[in-house]
A and B are shown apart, each in its own frame.
Chain A
Amino acid sequence: RKEVEQDPGPFNVPEGATVAFNCTYSNSASQSFFWYRQDCRKEPKLLMSVYSSGNEDGRFTAQLNRASQYISLLIRDSKLSDSATYLCVVKRSGTYKYIFGTGTRLKVLA
């Protein structure tokens, strides 16, 4: 079983829709959580960190559920420019290693 698992998608949604992605992690020692965005043939870029209490940045909301060991990303009012792969990233305490999920592909359709 992979340490970080994501549904690869693709998720095809119309403009304006709300879409949610989940990511599960297997190691309970995981300490830090992030969502990165990667456009086709480009490098990953940080979208947002995920805080224990949940956090919001404009149309994007991230949640962490430590008991069930998953994090989620909610995108409201999807834009065409949101089309990308969304990577879930987890870091365990006591290590410098970041574990990336395989990514979830999102396509926002006009």
Chain B
Amino acid sequence: DTGVSQNPRHKITKRGQNVTFRCDPISEHNRLYWYRQTLGQGPEFLTYFQNEAQLEKSRLLSDRFSAERPKGSFSTLEIQRTEQGDSAMYLCASSPSGLAGWGAETQYFGPGTRLLVL
């Protein structure tokens, strides 16, 4: 399967613990996005990477959230001191760039990591 992969698929943690999620984008996609989705809502933008550079970050993202993409390939999203309000599906998406037209902006989503904070 050459799609976007995310690990783990499910995570249950206790309030106050730190969690880390991993995203492996489609090979050669240099754009990578993280989103959060709660029940009944659309995905909410968290952050964007172009290669290893984090070029945009949502103001909604508190200091407890950090994301990295050290070599411009896979990315990690860490949540420190988790709170019950962090319970959500965390989605990663990738897209190619450098292409003409609309193709550059199609986002391919991974299956997500479902986080439950008790």
- Residues on A lying within 8 angstroms of B by beta carbon are 4, 8, 32, 34, 42-46, 49, 51, 87, 89, 91, 95-103
Residues on B with C-beta less than 8 A from A99 are 45
Q: Give the interface centre of A8, A46, A91, A95 by most chain B CB atoms within 10 Å.
A: A46
A87–B109 Cα distance when bound, in Å, is 14
Query: A100 and B42: CB pair below 8 A?
Result: yes
6 nearest A-B residue pairs (beta carbon): A100-B42, A43-B109, A96-B48, A49-B102, A96-B56, A97-B45
From A45, A46, A49, A96, give the contact of B55 (CB < 8 A).
A96
B28 within 8 A of A: no
A98–B104 Cα distance when bound, in Å, is 13
Nearest-CB residue, chain B, relative to A87: B42
- Residues on B lying within 8 angstroms of A by beta carbon are 31, 33, 35, 40-45, 48, 50, 55-56, 58, 91, 102, 105-112
Q: Tell me, rounded to whole Å, the shortest Cβ–Cβ distance linking B110 to chain A.
A: 6
Query: B105 and A97: CB pair below 8 A?
Result: no
Query: A46 and B107: CB pair below 8 A?
Result: yes
Residues on A with C-beta less than 8 A from B44 are 100
A-B contact pairs, 28 of them (CB 8 A): A34-B105, A42-B111, A43-B109, A43-B110, A43-B112, A44-B43, A44-B107, A44-B109, A46-B106, A49-B106, A87-B42, A87-B43, A89-B42, A91-B105, A95-B56, A96-B48, A96-B55, A97-B48, A98-B33, A98-B107, A99-B45, A100-B35, A100-B43, A100-B44, A102-B40, A102-B41, A102-B42, A103-B41
Nearest-CB residue, chain A, relative to B91: A43
Residues on B with C-beta less than 8 A from A8 are 40
A46–B43 Cα distance when bound, in Å, is 13
A100–B44 Cα distance when bound, in Å, is 7
A78–B109 Cα distance when bound, in Å, is 25
Residues on A with C-beta less than 8 A from B109 are 43-45
A16–B35 Cα distance when bound, in Å, is 35
From A45, A97, A101, give the contact of B42 (CB < 8 A).
A101
